[in-house]
Structure 1
Amino acid sequence: MKEIVNLPALNAALATLNTPTSLLVRSQGMLYSCGIPPLDLERKTLIEGDLTTQTEAVLSLMKAALEGAGSSLEKVVKITIYVTDTAHFGPVNEVYKRYFTSDYPVRSFVAVSPWPLPFDIEIDCIAEA
């Protein structure tokens, strides 16, 4: 059975993108996130800065979402990072290492075509609930 995790402020920011998705779903003791873009929660807008700024925004939002659902970054078992250019590997890793310092989750790093919206990174995860 699946349960949509109700995180009003985070879901409201995501809703501004007009994308039919849930931020987090809980199922069988696990949490599954959508691909999280770089969102400014206060202004409910995309953050269009450099890759470091965008990555920081995504991981900060992921951390807040997981903690709001009673989990944490330490319980993440799988991460997929989607970027618009493989040249982003270094800047993404610099920020990533501040959020994940040991016992790293398994991870995939995937280059994709640019989204129709102005951002260059999106990250999803699977975590223990």
Structure 2
Amino acid sequence: GFVFISATPPVDMVTGEMVRGDIETQTEASLKALKHCLEAAGTSLEKVVMVRIYAVNSGFYNAINRIYAKYFATNPPARSFVPVASWPMEFDIEIECVAVA
């Protein structure tokens, strides 16, 4: 089967608070939260087959890639980068994925 993790914002999984900061800080927090959710569901980053990244600025692409590469260094999954015009939330990125269970 598969595990589907919905769009995950830059949330601190210990405090439940949104992580503020530049896009690198927010990307790191989103990926840590994603990793936490995957592990809670009994899977891992190594089993991710698809990632979709939503960001409020297409100019963030390279900065996001630098952080993303630390989590998916070898055999990265298929990925989409989706710039969004705006949203009502107080953060700049959300990441969702599909992983093998």
1:107 corresponds to which residue? 79
1:59 corresponds to which residue? 31
1:55 Cα deviation from its structure 2 partner: 0.2
State the alpha-carbon separation in 2 of the partners of residues 69 and 44 from structure 1: 18
Which 4+ runs in 1 deviate beyond 4 A?
none
Map 1:111-126; keep pairs closer than 5 Å. 111-126=83-98
1:114 Cα deviation from its structure 2 partner: 2.2
Matched, 1:93 2:65: yes
The two structures, once aligned, show a CA RMSD in angstroms of: 0.9
Q: TM-score, normalised by structure 1?
A: 0.75
Q: TM-score, normalised by structure 2?
A: 0.95
Task: Describe the SS at the equivalent of 2:59.
Answer: helix
1:39 corresponds to which residue? 11
2:100 corresponds to which residue? 128
Which digits, 9 at most, give the CA deviation of each residue in 1:82-111, with x for residues without a partner? 000111001100000000011110000010
Aligned length: 101
Where does structure 1 lack aligned partners over 5 or more consecutive residues?
A: 1-28
